[in-house]
Homo-oligomer: A and B are copies of this chain.
């Protein structure tokens, strides 16, 4: 593989394809080579058909540009329906499952010229049950994080420029932190989640991975989220709030150091840095998240419990039987608290250009577990856009991500601010 291909951003590759300096086939071939070379160690992929990928790549080379993603390889999390590949949810119930059509989000990607290169490994139903076997690109004894394990690892490892994940707790942002990848969980409801396995309608959100903030902005544009914003020349003068969130106790020393380091870097670069302590009601959000997750999960997995009881993983039986006893009153209280805090967080966030918070408790843990979503689930429940800015690393050389978040639907403004933050951090390390 041409060494440059594995660090080429999606925006850069799109330009090279458009200008005729690189063919779709060459880029796809480079990606496939890197995927094949690394798969034994990384195990990012649930399904790839190299011959079919190259056939489509050659077709795209012969086709006038379909759109902004023309010829760009994209990995799709294996809980998302694809018309030409299996969708197996890492579940024994769905072995060999062949959906008859693309999920709408996949159809939108194809309509913009994307090359769907394969299906990425996932935690079972992006929820619980079976872990993926995916490993961390920086240390194969460690997890890539879940549930969007393969999507994060494949981009983090330089195999592909773009991928799609999902987030219900912390399933996009946490793996991005562990794998050192730029990622975004957009505001709730901005990308169709039809044709994607449901866990919780209130929480499930499509997630985006790329090699730069501009790559994420490119995907946001394709999905019709907001309008392109001017990127600030620098962080100088930006109002940035550092928020430890109610889950700060879950953080470990390497993340605490990285978070302090980010604050120093951005202050030194001229940002107006302040500390944000969220008001008392926000302390109830972690419990509200769990109540909603488990009660909506009861609805989501009922059919599997009834029709595939013997092979359904214990974790899902647990939810359907409501073994933790979440009551209707608890569910209503959780919905109402979340709604209250959404309004308040919009007001709070409006006073800043961005709110920054840790993307994960610390380094990727050993093994193949999903990792602790404590630092992410609150923001998922708030429906707020979250962007993972990588770049910082622990003493051991492992990635530690910072989440840039803000008001609902400020996605594109936040991407512009995150771009300036990303540049400042990259310049300082």
**A residues adjacent to B (C-beta < 8 A):** 97-102, 104-105, 107-108, 110-112, 189-194, 197-198, 201-202, 223-224, 226, 295-296, 298-300, 302-304, 306-307, 320, 328, 331-332, 335-336, 339-340, 342-343, 346, 408-409
Contact = CB atoms under 8 A, between A and B. Distances in A.
B192 A299 contact: yes
A225 to B, nearest CB: 9
Contacts of A202: 189
Nearest to A332: B408
Contacts of A193: 198, 201
B194 A224 contact: no
Contacts of A303: 102, 104-105, 107-108, 111, 192
18 contacts: A97-B100, A97-B101, A99-B101, A102-B303, A107-B307, A110-B307, A111-B306, A189-B299, A190-B299, A191-B299, A192-B198, A192-B303, A201-B201, A224-B320, A226-B328, A328-B409, A332-B408, A335-B342
B331 A192 contact: no
A405 to B, nearest CB: 16
Contacts of A224: 298-299, 302, 320
Q: What 7 A-B pairs come out closest when comparing CB atoms?
A: A339-B339, A104-B303, A328-B409, A111-B306, A107-B303, A194-B198, A111-B307
Contacts of A98: 100
Contacts of A107: 303, 306-307
Per DSSP, are chain A's interface residues mostly helix, strand or loop, or mixed? helix
Contacts of A296: 189
Nearest to A322: B224
Nearest to A102: B303
A108 B336 contact: no
Contacts of A298: 224
A107 B309 CA distance: 13
Given A98-B100, A299-B189, A346 B328 contact: no
Contacts of A198: 192-194
Contacts of A408: 328, 332
A346 B339 CA distance: 15
Contacts of A299: 189-192, 224
A230 to B, nearest CB: 18
Nearest to A307: B111
A128 to B, nearest CB: 17
A307 B295 CA distance: 36
A105 B343 CA distance: 33
Contacts of A105: 303
Nearest to A104: B303
A409 B298 CA distance: 14
Contacts of A332: 346, 408-409
Contacts of A340: 339
A342 B335 CA distance: 10
Contacts of A346: 332
A202 B201 CA distance: 9
B300 A192 contact: yes
A318 B331 CA distance: 36
Contact of A342 (B295, B320, B336): B336
Nearest to A100: B100
A328 B302 CA distance: 35
Nearest to A112: B306
Contacts of A104: 300, 302-304
